[in-house]
Structure 1
């Protein structure tokens, strides 16, 4: 056991929080999976628990493998990964609307293994790395909007436009995180305000086009438009049904909860093991359990800020913030949806909810943060090795 921990480098607190969240997830996932078994008629509770354990095991394998990669390598890797993810997003939208009868506008089927893969999650991580790389490259230059339009904002808007029709919440979160990263990276505020304005105009035109021609975007556009509209105006929709059941679960949990596995609303809440698992956690473990879980996410945020501040390179700082902040932001949105502070978004609770792609991409991001938290390599004379990316040197500073 000591030999295993010896190979785990980087911030120990992040390792500990990640492991604790993963271990705790077994209890609510096992409990909430009874909805899939006895209501939906899908598999067995032990089968869902075993699948969740396998996904987490693979996820921690991703963390270990990624955290061993030197941070500066991600600069060059983002140049390779971004066009690949764009092609995957195009393929995801073009493949059709169903996989085995289910809406598949956000997923692709992985051959042989039988898993589905949500390409937008991978695109979000890759795009944040790419933006961090670009901001690092221009940090000592006078930034002009026209010069950054093609290398920075064109890829950003292409990725967001490909995600938007099927997954508005992910597109909105990604756009917000890119703006935050650009602000922290020193990108002029006047240009960011222009980008925000352009984004609002584009979204308005997109919604008007979707309403004028409903068959033009046959994926999930109507779903997320109706969710936002009904959040503000009210109405009898599936989203309202889920919110009402989630609030009942939270209210019945009280201060200390009903006990592990004793949730009642898990049998009535359709997404009890994924999107609304936080409501089930409060029902079973009370406000104490819900606030404790929030504390661990805040601790993760604190350690992410510490790692970013301690990293000796500009790229490392921006990289940690770019891939680490969305994890906590997604967790807070998931919790906010359960208490009706946000419309239903479909965002899972990182490392807690069941689901493969979300777990793997969260682990990928955590692995990158841990890579940035490792002590830099040193030469024999005690000076740190140059952080310049060899892939960028070979590519002629693309």
Structure 2
């Protein structure tokens, strides 16, 4: 009996040892890639914003240090989010969603301010924030909760569509009313991603996506400004001093970098030639200063991040976890693709930042918080898988 007991203890130790490296490996590389992108982004923000920061603050590094502060705060929130058990996210998802919705509505009060034609910001004292960034997380938590319930208890397709449309209307509707179609589009993509990875039926996904696409088409054709942006893609840059100014200078900056770039800090476009150089068009500055090597490295980092997120989805044992991580993946990777496509003039200007890299405190903190939730899903999966494996030996 003593020998048998010793054997069981050894088997438990072996199983625990085998399981942990796999789990720790995914989490380790998630931290490496995410913190690598954030660190690189902080460096590029400091470079891209040095001219405008000097004009505004009499210091070329003012915006860079400010972004560094947000990065540190975001990483701390990522650590905190990773330590919260997954069951609490599922349990409190409705309350977080209602809270995010209430904050989102504040943009239509005197606290709301308009930036670049979009009323999607709050200014309280000397601080400003974009509540739609936190709504992304709250929305995905609710979609994942719905997906988990619907997966267990299949409703009629019509009933599912109505539920999801109501949820999308509450989450995305106020963002559209604030004329921020770019953020609303990313939220719609993330919503669809959460449905797909949550095992929602194709009829529901296609019907839901078709209805959202019809709404997006309506908002585009009813806005002369949005129509002009789309038409400018085929206009060859005719409106140089108008709508084509930013896209053209973004492409020129990207192209001028060549293979290795002009060197860190040596961008010419950031000298007031490229609006939002540290935000929506930071990919152009990366190309100008670090060349093709720098831009390809960034794209490869996002590819590695997407592979890691897919691995988390595969081992997540619950529909809630799979749906949640799937939505976060489509949000961050999809937004990165949209941002890069805009810089390459494959899409009209939408005003969405490059995730984990562009300057923007709210956007950076929300992305890092979301990655913390991903790690919480991973740890929950590892805990359950480890328990299942040990129970087999006990049996």
TM-score category by the smaller chain?
0.7 to 0.9
Deviation at 1:383, TM superposition (A): 5.0
* Residues 238 and 354 (structure 1), Cα distance of their counterparts in 2 relative to 1, 3 Å cut: farther
* Residues 353 and 160 (structure 1), Cα distance of their counterparts in 2 relative to 1, 3 Å cut: same
Two-structure CA RMSD over aligned residues (Å): 2.7
> 1:66 — aligned with what?
81
> 1:81 — aligned with what?
96
Provide the secondary structure at the position in 1 that maps to 2:267: coil
Given that 2:192 and 2:327 are in contact with CA atoms closer than 8 Å, whether structure 1 keeps it comes out as no
> 1:387 — aligned with what?
none
Match of 2:346 among 332, 335, 341: 341
* Residues 135 and 381 (structure 1), Cα distance of their counterparts in 2 relative to 1, 3 Å cut: closer
- The unaligned stretches of length 5 or more in structure 2 are 1-23
Given that 2:302 and 2:333 are in contact with CA atoms closer than 8 Å, whether structure 1 keeps it comes out as yes
Q: Comparing 175-184 with 61-70, which one deviates more in the overlay? A: 175-184
Deviation at 1:53, TM superposition (A): 1.0
TM-score by length of 1: 0.83
Q: Comparing 197-206 with 288-297, which one deviates more in the overlay? A: 197-206
> 1:269 — aligned with what?
274
Match of 2:374 among 369, 372, 376: 369
CA distance in 2, matches of 1:189, 1:44: 54
CA distance in 2, matches of 1:44, 1:361: 27
Deviations 1:224-260 (A, max 9, x none): 4542343355652644111111111111100011111
CA distance in 2, matches of 1:183, 1:190: 11
CA distance in 1, matches of 2:220, 2:143: 27
Q: Comparing 226-235 with 347-356, which one deviates more in the overlay? A: 226-235
CA distance in 2, matches of 1:118, 1:97: 10
> 1:29 — aligned with what?
45
Deviation at 1:368, TM superposition (A): 0.6
> 1:197 — aligned with what?
210
Provide the secondary structure at the position in 2 that maps to 1:108: strand
Deviation at 1:65, TM superposition (A): 0.3
Q: Which has the larger radius of gyration?
A: 2
Deviations 1:285-305 (A, max 9, x none): 110111011111110000000
> 2:258 — aligned with what?
254
Provide the secondary structure at the position in 2 that maps to 1:260: coil
Provide the secondary structure at the position in 1 that maps to 2:383: coil
Deviations 1:265-287 (A, max 9, x none): 11111111111111101111110
Deviations 1:17-48 (A, max 9, x none): 1111122123211211123135x534522221
* Residues 316 and 203 (structure 1), Cα distance of their counterparts in 2 relative to 1, 3 Å cut: closer
Match of 2:232 among 230, 233, 249: 230
Deviation at 1:155, TM superposition (A): 1.5
Does residue 173 of structure 1 match 2:177?
no
Match of 1:92 among 92, 104, 107: 107
* Residues 42 and 304 (structure 1), Cα distance of their counterparts in 2 relative to 1, 3 Å cut: same
> 1:388 — aligned with what?
none
CA distance in 1, matches of 2:234, 2:112: 29
CA distance in 1, matches of 2:321, 2:113: 40
TM-score by length of 2: 0.84
CA distance in 2, matches of 1:138, 1:78: 16
Given that 1:28 and 1:277 are in contact with CA atoms closer than 8 Å, whether structure 2 keeps it comes out as yes
* Residues 246 and 325 (structure 1), Cα distance of their counterparts in 2 relative to 1, 3 Å cut: same
CA distance in 2, matches of 1:148, 1:329: 25
Deviations 1:36-95 (A, max 9, x none): 135x53452222121011000100011000000112221122110111222222221343
Normalized per residue, which structure has more helix? 2
CA distance in 1, matches of 2:118, 2:58: 21
Deviation at 1:103, TM superposition (A): 6.1
Given that 1:129 and 1:322 are in contact with CA atoms closer than 8 Å, whether structure 2 keeps it comes out as no
Deviation at 1:123, TM superposition (A): 0.9
Deviation at 1:9, TM superposition (A): 10
Given that 2:251 and 2:344 are in contact with CA atoms closer than 8 Å, whether structure 1 keeps it comes out as yes
Q: Comparing 320-329 with 353-362, which one deviates more in the overlay? A: 320-329
Provide the secondary structure at the position in 2 that maps to 1:263: coil
CA distance in 2, matches of 1:197, 1:318: 20
